[in-house]
A and B are shown apart, each in its own frame.
Chain A
């Protein structure tokens, strides 16, 4: 039972480089999310998707782009990495229901360092 899989788990980038983080889920969840976690700031939403082909901005979207071409995949792109994007990135997915215990299933995180 894979759940939510993030790749890569670790990455070091130089300022200005680009990269894509991949999130894949096998639970047929409609909703997918990208968060970043920084010390003392909790988790902040970058972008999210409520279905294949749709994306929306979260709290901190600047410097990131996303795509959801397939229901099971949600990609997070950094076009020109900056040191301020050094963070731990979490992908999550959930069912589309708004009632009940429709909690998140989280990936294991990607630790990104931009030097």
Chain B
């Protein structure tokens, strides 16, 4: 079974609007971390936000927030007030304890911000 599932291959959002990128995960480890990375067309991987499995509150980093629903095993990324520079590929990833800090990545969502 896939550890990380991103069901939206491509998304469009109007500039200044909010957008939610979906991510579900599968693990039996009670201790895990969830991450989102951004990959612009230049190719580098940019860390956006982190959520630990024991964190009680949803993580926020500027315009990024992570909607963590533990029972549903979902970790959706919310980008508020979209900007043209947000157009990129977005990857959800999970790290399980005891796996050499190995990350499992989803297949990514391509976000296009429309002026």
Q: Is A98 within 8 A of B105, CB to CB? A: no
Q: Is A99 within 8 A of B31, CB to CB? A: yes
Q: Is A41 within 8 A of B107, CB to CB? A: yes
How big is the A interface, by class? Answer: 20 to 34
A window 10-48: CB within 8 A of B? 31, 33, 35, 40-45, 48
Interface of B is mostly: loop
Q: A99-B31, A101-B50 are in contact. Are A42 and B45 (CB under 8 A)?
A: no
A-B contact count (CB 8 A): 66
- The stretch among B14-22, B65-73, B74-82, B94-102 that forms the contact with chain A is B94-102
A window 43-82: CB within 8 A of B? 43-45, 48, 50, 56, 58
The reply to whether the CB of B25 lies closer than 8 angstroms to some CB of chain A is no
Residue on A nearest B32 in the bound complex, by CB:
A98
Q: How far is the CB of A1 from chain B (nearest CB, A)?
A: 15
Q: Is B35 within 8 A of A103, CB to CB? A: yes
Q: Is A100 within 8 A of B52, CB to CB? A: yes
Complex partner residue of B44 from A33, A42, A109, CB under 8 angstroms: A109
Residue on A nearest B29 in the bound complex, by CB:
A98
Number of residues in B with C-beta < 8 Å to the partner?
24
Q: Is B35 within 8 A of A42, CB to CB? A: no
- 17 A-B contacts (beta carbon < 8 Å): A31-B101, A33-B103, A35-B105, A41-B107, A42-B106, A43-B103, A56-B100, A94-B101, A98-B31, A98-B98, A99-B31, A100-B33, A102-B33, A104-B47, A104-B103, A108-B44, A109-B43
